[in-house]
Each structure stands twice: as C-alpha cells, then as structure tokens.
C-alpha cells in the first residue's frame, strides 16, 4: 500500500484546513521544500501536494514552490489544485511529476478528462471530494448533486489511474477516516482508490493497510503528521 504524506500549500506555506473550510486554516512553520525534504530523508517514496490557491482560482498559483520541490527531492509526486487545462497538465508532466490530479475540471468536463487520459497514459488521477455521498467542487466551495458512485461508473473505462477519495466531513478533523464508505465504494469500482481525510493515528493507517482484499491502493496522511499525532518514523515503517 502506498502511503502519501501530504503537503497543502497556501500563500507559499504549509497549511491544513478543517473540513475544507478556508476560514479554519492552520499554518505550519516548515516551508513546503523543507517539509518535502524531511519526508524524503525519512524514507517515503511518494508525496501528495495540493495547491490550495490553485484550487480556489482555477489555475496553478504555487508552481514555482512546487517546481523547487520536484527539482530538489527525488520523490514520486502527485499534484493537484487548479489543474483544468491540457496545457497545465503538460507543464506539470514536463517538470517530472508522477501523477497529475484533476478534480473540478474532471467532473465538469469528462471530455477533457478523456483527452488527458489518452494523451498522458497512466498519469491522470481524479480527486473526488465527497460530502454526504455527493461531489463538491472548486476547493469544496461548490456542492453538486452528483453521487460519487455514478460519476466513477461514467469514467471507469477511460484510463484514470487512481481515484483520491476525500470525505470532507472527516478531512482535517483527525477523527478517523471514513473506511466503511470507502470500502463499500471500492468494492463497486475498478479504478484503485486512495483514502484521504481524517486519519488520526498509526492504527488508522494499519487498519487501511490490512484491507488486502479491497481495491484501496493507498492512504493520504496530513494533519496528524503536522500535529505530532503520527510520528514520521513510525509511519514510514508501514511502507
């Protein structure tokens, strides 16, 4: 199972949100490059980066900061946040990222998603941010009435490499991930799922890792690392 430590970037700094609320934001002292370096030196192979300014504005805002990480840290990086054009995807692929994560653009324009999957084989992931079973868009500001399972069924055969499934009600709360709904969803779809939102302890990660018969490929761990609830050295042992 892949463990993705997370770096969310706003105004060039490491942050975490509470339930996706930009009014409930915590800034952390380490710069994104220093945090990425720590993850790399600790032994992680993958990292999950979100450009929160990009998610709000619909275009990559922290490109220079993230490019610096890519240049200096030899990790498989999956990047999301405001990536809504083929040109933007292409620029990230050219910098050397492992996966480009589409969210709002994928849901609002399946044709664009198909085009991206055809052009960049095995490089496109889709982030679905879910609240009460329904997809939210635009940095979680826009609630739709589209169910997660219905949307995944629509895109199942176009070449999406993974789905990042975030339960907004859990994200940043450290109250445990929504494993039940994620397992249920993973049993109904073919695309591998990555669990995101609410991971509070090393036991949560172990529980997800133990789900060997599921379609769950990995887990994203964020706030619990930054707040010290999960020690990096303990987490890296589970890779």
pLDDT per position as a tens digit, 99-127 = 999 988 899 999 999 999 999 999 999 99
For residues 72 and 33, the answer to whether their CB atoms sit within 8 Å is yes
Decide if 8 is catalytic: yes
pLDDT cut 70: percent of the chain above it = 93
Decide if 181 is catalytic: no
Hey, what are 1's tokens? Answer: 């199972």
How far, in Å, are 66, 104, 119, 170 from residue 129 at the CA level? 22, 9, 25, 11
| DSSP class of 1 | -
Confidence (pLDDT) at 87: 95
| DSSP class of 45 | -
The number of folded domains in the chain is 1
User: Model's pTM, two decimal places?
Assistant: 0.90
**Rounded mean pLDDT of the chain?**
88
Question: Phi/psi at 160 (nearest 5 deg)?
Answer: -65, 130
Domain extent, residue 21, equals: 2-236
DSSP 167-183: ETTTTTT-S---HHHHH
**φ/ψ bin of 42: left (φ > 0), alpha (ψ from -120 to 50), beta (otherwise):** alpha
For residues 7 and 49, the answer to whether their CB atoms sit within 8 Å is yes
- Say how far apart CA 162 and CA 98 lie, in whole Å: 12
Residue for token pair 């084989």: 121
> Which CATH number do you get for residue 69?
3.20.20.70
Marked catalytic residue, from 51, 53, 98, 129: 129
Residue for token pair 């990660």: 205
CA 108 to chain centre: 18
pLDDT in tens, 14-63: 887 776 667 778 888 789 999 999 999 999 999 999 998 888 887 888 99
């Amino acid at each position: 199972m892949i463990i993705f430590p997370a770096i969310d970037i706003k105004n060039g700094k490491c942050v975490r949100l509470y339930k996706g609320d930009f009014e409930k934001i915590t800034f952390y002292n380490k710069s994104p490059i220093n945090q990425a370096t720590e993850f790399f030196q600790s032994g992680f192979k993958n990292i999950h980066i979100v450009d929160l300014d990009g998610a709000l504005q619909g275009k990559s805002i922290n490109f220079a900061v993230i490019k610096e990480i890519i240049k200096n840290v030899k990790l498989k990086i999956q990047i999301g946040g405001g990536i809504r054009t083929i040109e933007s995807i292409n620029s990230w692929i050219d910098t050397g990222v492992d996966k480009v994560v589409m969210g709002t653009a994928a849901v609002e324009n399946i044709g664009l998603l198909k085009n991206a999957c055809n052009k960049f084989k095995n490089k496109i992931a889709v982030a679905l941010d879910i609240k009460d079973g329904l997809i939210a868009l635009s940095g979680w500001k826009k609630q739709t009435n589209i169910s997660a399972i219905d949307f995944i069924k629509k895109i199942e055969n176009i070449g999406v490499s993974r789905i990042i499934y975030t339960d907004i009600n859990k994200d940043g709360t450290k109250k445990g991930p929504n494993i039940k709904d994620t397992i249920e969803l993973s049993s109904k779809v073919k695309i591998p799922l990555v669990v995101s939102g609410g991971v509070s302890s090393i036991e949560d990660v172990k529980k997800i890792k133990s789900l060997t018969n599921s379609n769950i490929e990995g887990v994203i761990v964020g706030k619990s690392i930054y707040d010290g609830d999960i020690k990096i050295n303990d987490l890296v042992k589970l890779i």
